[in-house]
């Protein structure tokens, strides 16, 4: 099972701010998400879409949850408006990213339950909590 955080940044400054946090999250998910939590899903993707001067995604929050049966992948977008991040300090941003990521997982867990895919819910929740807790340190 793999969790991959990727990003689409609408501002060079957003790239400079979000990329290190994205990498940190990926490292912690790689460390802690090691179980087989689903029947057939092998990959979860969360895409940070960060609005800025060059590109505005015109929304905010969790959206576009997709289950790609052919590739056994579940993806979701986590959209940040420019006003959310532009003047926020790193602690505020870390909290915002952690909370948004948890909201993504809540939505994905509901979807996988509906699909009958989720087989190790408590283990998955525990491992996600470990990764997010270490991210927040």
Q: What residue segments make up the domains of the chain, in order of their start?
A: 2-131
Radius of gyration of the chain (CA): 15
d(CA 17, CA 54): 16
Using DSSP bridges, classify how beta strands 61-68 and 73-80 pair: parallel, antiparallel or unpaired. Answer: antiparallel
* Mean pLDDT, range 59-83, rounded to an integer: 98
* Mean pLDDT, range 76-93, rounded to an integer: 97
HSE-up of residue 103 (Cα within 13 Å, Cβ side): 15
* Mean pLDDT, range 98-121, rounded to an integer: 98
For the record, the structure tokens of 63 come out as: 């959206």
- 101: phi then psi, degrees, rounded to nearest 5: -65, -40
CA-CA distances (angstroms) from residue 54 to 11, 13, 85, 103? Answer: 6, 11, 15, 26
* Mean pLDDT, range 100-125, rounded to an integer: 98
* Mean pLDDT, range 53-81, rounded to an integer: 98
């Amino acid at each position: 099972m793999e969790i991959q955080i990727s990003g689409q940044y609408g501002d060079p400054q957003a790239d400079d701010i979000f990329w290190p946090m994205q990498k940190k999250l990926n490292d912690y998910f790689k460390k802690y998400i090691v179980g087989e939590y689903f029947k057939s899903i092998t990959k979860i993707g969360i895409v940070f879409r960060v609005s800025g001067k060059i590109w505005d995604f015109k929304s905010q929050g969790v959206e576009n949850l997709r289950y790609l049966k052919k590739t056994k992948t579940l993806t979701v977008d986590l959209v940040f408006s420019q006003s959310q991040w532009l003047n926020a300090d790193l602690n505020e941003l870390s909290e915002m990213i952690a909370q948004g990521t948890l909201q993504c997982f809540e939505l994905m867990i509901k979807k996988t339950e509906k699909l009958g895919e989720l087989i190790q819910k408590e283990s998955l929740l525990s491992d996600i909590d470990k990764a997010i807790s270490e991210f927040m340190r």
